[in-house]
Amino acid sequence: MGFFARVQERGEALDSWVCVGLDPRAASAAEAEAMCLEIIEATAPYACCFKPNAAFFEVHGGEGIKVLGRVIAAAHARGAPVILDAKRGDVGSTATMYAKAAFETLDADAATLSPYLGWDAVEPFAHYPGKGLFVLCATSNPSGVEVQRGLRRDVARWCASDGAWGTKTGGSIGLVVGATDVAALDLVRAVNRDSWILAPGVGAQGGDLDAAVRAARTRVIVPASRAVSDAPDRASAACALRDRINAALRFPVPRPLAPHQTAFLTCVLASGALRFGDFELKSGRRSPYFFNAGLIFDGDHVAALFDAYADRILLEPNLDFDVIFGPAYKGIPLCAGVAAALARKGRRVAFAYNRKELKDHGEGGTLVGAPLEHRNVLLIDDVISAGTAIREASTLLAARGARLVAVCVALDRQEVTGGPDLPPPDQPRVSAVDAARRDINAPVFSILTLADLLQFLEDRQHHQDGDTIQAVRKYRDDYGIILKLPTAA
Ligand SMILES: O=c1ccn([C@@H]2O[C@H](COP(=O)(O)O)[C@@H](O)[C@H]2O)c(=O)[nH]1
């Protein structure tokens, strides 16, 4: 079982998202060890994981490193996963040794990493199956923002399950976002709804625990070092922290979806393109909801749909494309309509599409619209089922000398590939979107995900009955690529 699945399981079993930090301020390695063992003993019933910070052990030299190994083993003996907080980041060959030290020598289950040197500094850590990574996104120290302001949104996107790094790591990558910066947590969750967040900075650093947890919404682990180690009764301190986190998680302040998502939902519900009930999918699964973009045909609904695509595309950072390509048939009106909507919003791009039949008269050929050679192309489609259409389109584009830069779809069902049998809980969960993304080597993003849909239903913006919401939630838990969320809004 991977690190995040283990944290999830232990967190749920203990009903606690407290990560107890082990930062022993001690005069010797022996004293540091004794202190950590006491903390582990007292707080294990409240700790979904432990987080020793390497500095507090390295300061004691070789003996300190040995103690760190024994402290990690002691946490393991209590069944708790361990995050090694060492904020590593270096050129690939050195990062390889850092990864070996963290995951082999010390046997940590996860490590904190700096994104500053790019993917090749992170990659060696990703070679260890089952281990977790936490990438620094917005740190809790006061001046971090001066450096991170321009980078944190991109880091958050890269680490999302459909982001560049999230995809490469199969989702075993989380983010460090300080509890001291609620605006940063908001920003991160606006572009990344599914990564685990480690939110340090409560207690001694003065972070607003309630606001931070609410901003993170879900999949949040709150580390506390001094707030626990310096408390007169460490067990009570960890227990109180647990309760405050849970209270904030159980009563989150509703967070609206982005306006283009609400407009899209309004359109698909009004047109009947999104329905709730009992549907049999091509895969043989019975789904409590079904999306059929072919049912959006009234002019006002179509206009809203094109606008929602255009708004979503404009939100995607660093998307450099000059042609929108729509694979036949459903992609044909989409590419034309979205190109028009983008033009109205100030972004001029061309469109092209293919025909399925070969023409034997007139201009001939299978492609219509803008020339594709040497052009950067954004592929647009309604929903990815098996991903066949996307793969075929990508082959066609490559044959025409075009560069496929990304794929935009309306709905990402975020479910594992396969048939009606439930996937084994310990297997890596790969969705059709993930598989397509891997095969075509380009990002895939969507206007709406299943997680967004659930949030919409749960926020009661749409008056669905409780049974429908329960059924969609259960479907997500059974077939979703996203592990069961620790909290239901
Ligand atoms: O942004 C960050 C990243 C890591 N940390 C580390 O967490 C603990 C916090 O200690 P407290 O006593 O709970 O303040 C410490 O090891 C830091 O190095 C962080 O604070 N902020």
ipTM: 0.94
What separation in Å is there between the alpha carbon of 401 and the centre of ligand 1?
49
The confidence band for 190, taking pLDDT boundaries of 50, 70 and 90, is: confident
Residues acting as catalytic residues = 359, 361
Instruction: Give the whole-angstrom CA distance, residue 249 versus residue 210.
Output: 9
What separation in Å is there between the alpha carbon of 201 and the centre of ligand 1?
6
Q: Indicate whether this model's pTM tops 0.80.
A: no
Task: Indicate which residue's Cα is closest to atom 11 of ligand 1.
Answer: 225
Task: Indicate which residue's Cα is closest to atom 7 of ligand 1.
Answer: 200
Lowest mean pLDDT among 110-114, 189-193, 333-337, 357-361: 357-361
Q: What percent of the chain has pLDDT over 70?
A: 93
Query: For residue 205, which atom of ligand 1 is closest to its CA?
Result: 14
Query: For residue 204, which atom of ligand 1 is closest to its CA?
Result: 14
Q: Which whole number is the average pLDDT over 135-149?
A: 95
Q: Which whole number is the average pLDDT over 193-209?
A: 94
Task: Indicate which residue's Cα is closest to atom 21 of ligand 1.
Answer: 140
SS (H, E, C) 147-164: HHCCCHHHHHHHHCCCCH
The confidence band for 364, taking pLDDT boundaries of 50, 70 and 90, is: low
The confidence band for 429, taking pLDDT boundaries of 50, 70 and 90, is: low
What separation in Å is there between the alpha carbon of 200 and the centre of ligand 1?
5
Q: Which whole number is the average pLDDT over 69-87?
A: 98
Give the model's pLDDT for residue 131.
Answer: 98
What separation in Å is there between the alpha carbon of 1 and the centre of ligand 1?
27
Question: Measuring from each residue's beta carbon to the nearest atom of ligand 1, which residues come in under 6 Å?
Answer: 21, 23, 53, 85, 139-140, 176, 178, 200-201, 203-205, 223-227
**Which amino acid does the sequence have at 183?**
A
Contact between 399 and 386 (Cβ < 8 Å): no
Instruction: Give the whole-angstrom CA distance, residue 193 versus residue 186.
Output: 10
The confidence band for 463, taking pLDDT boundaries of 50, 70 and 90, is: low
Query: For residue 53, which atom of ligand 1 is closest to its CA?
Result: 16
Gyration radius of the chain over CA positions: 24
Angle CA 362–365–366, to nearest 5: 125
The confidence band for 388, taking pLDDT boundaries of 50, 70 and 90, is: confident
Instruction: Give the whole-angstrom CA distance, residue 412 versus residue 291.
Output: 10
Q: Which of 238-242, 336-340, 410-414 has the highest mean pLDDT?
A: 336-340
